[in-house]
Homo-oligomer: A and B are copies of this chain.
Amino acid sequence: MKVVTFGEIMIRLSAPDREKLFQSPYLRVIFGGGEANVAISLANFGHDVSFVTALPQNDIGDAVIAELRKMNVDTSKIIRQGKRVGIYFTETGANQRPSKVFYDRAHSSISEAKSGDFKWKEIFNGVDWFHVTGITPAISESAAELTFEALKTAKDMGVKISIDFNYRSKLWKYGKSAVEVMSEIVKYADIGIGNEEDCQKSLGIKANIDVKKGKLDEKIYEELTEKVMEIYPNLEKMAITMRESFSADYNGWSAVLRSKDRFIVGNKYEIKDIVDRIGGGDSFSAGLIHGLDKFRDDEKALNFAIAASCLKHSIPGDFNRVKESEVLNLMEGDASGRVQR
């Protein structure tokens, strides 16, 4: 498929070796951001993917583009303007100590890009699928406008649209609430993706789920997806990821997928020694998009997405560097982790 994703890619600075930030004078520097992570994962699965964003015309912007190119993502639609690449700092927790993310992303090029800066008609020419998340509309009013602009054009041009609702409480500071904006955004989606918190905080839909307790109840997810699809009849399918947080490095991981006529609970994996869970949701989105395209079967698509994102938890960095064959291997049942010689 020809795919476009639109959003922000940032510099990620990570404390090494489970240290607290600045505990020692070294940082790992990688790049990441929801929509870029989806783009890269889809490129790994063999799609022709273009990532659309704005980056400053300097050495740092060049470095971001080189990384995307390395990951086989088309960068020709990126516009070069503005002043900075957003940054986020991370420290990786363990056991009862949570991982932390600190954003320093205000005033990034994409947050200051304006309506008209992107040539959407050109961008969506010949494109099959467009993916966007709830993060971009949260960073600034103009970024929200750009998201609408993109969604409208894509819709008009018959591009399939998936939206990850992705609620970020520390963003949404420009005067509008998440619910206010996202409830309009989601009207463009063919495929909705989120976790239970995203559904509640982005769409204002209540569900009786306490995410801080480990075990999750599938029934509540059945009701929640039903509610979402009633309110947004434009949605063909709605997927919700189910993370059981036993500790910072031990999670249960599964998801559900509802279509008009079917509710499926996917495979579940125990991930007991999480390496890096940032980007986990993005790898699910990419897995689902690829799965739906490849299998034309909801159950397989869902299980592919869960397996793909399960594997992401074992790879450092935001990007899901696994190939389709590796995901298929797990999806078909081999979770033994035996050495491959």
B-chain residues with CB within 8 Å of residue A93 when the two chains form the complex: 314, 337, 339
A212 within 8 A of B: yes
Q: Chain B's nearest CB lies how many Å from the CB of A197? A: 10
Instruction: Count this chain's copies in the assembly.
Output: 6
Q: Is the CB of A100 within 8 A of B314?
A: no
Binds B, one of A57-65, A151-159, A227-235: A57-65
> Once the chains are docked, how many angstroms separate the CA of A310 from the CA of B97?
9
Q: Chain B's nearest CB lies how many Å from the CB of A319? A: 9
Q: How large is the interface on A (under 10, 10 to 19, 20 to 34, 35 or more residues)?
A: 35 or more
Nearest B residue to A245, CB-CB: B336
Q: Tell me which residues from 188 to 226 in chain A have a Cβ below 8 Å from any Cβ of chain B.
A: 211-214
Q: Chain B's nearest CB lies how many Å from the CB of A44? A: 10
Q: Quick one: given A59-B21, A60-B22, A70-B66, are A96 and B245 in contact (CB under 8 Å)?
A: no
B-chain residues with CB within 8 Å of residue A337 when the two chains form the complex: 93-99, 245-250
A84 within 8 A of B: yes
Binds B, one of A103-111, A116-124, A179-187, A290-298: A103-111
- By CB atoms of chain B within 10 A, which of A18, A335, A341 has the most? A341
Q: List 26 A-B contacts (CB under 8 A).
A: A17-B316, A18-B275, A20-B321, A22-B66, A22-B67, A24-B25, A25-B29, A59-B100, A60-B102, A66-B72, A67-B70, A84-B104, A93-B314, A94-B275, A95-B310, A95-B313, A96-B271, A96-B310, A97-B311, A97-B337, A98-B339, A101-B339, A246-B337, A247-B272, A248-B338, A278-B339
Chain A contacts to B: CB under 8 angstroms: 13, 17-30, 58-60, 63, 66-67, 69-72, 83-84, 87, 89, 93-104, 106-107, 168-170, 211-214, 245-250, 269, 271-275, 277-278, 307, 310-311, 313-317, 321-322, 326, 330, 333-341
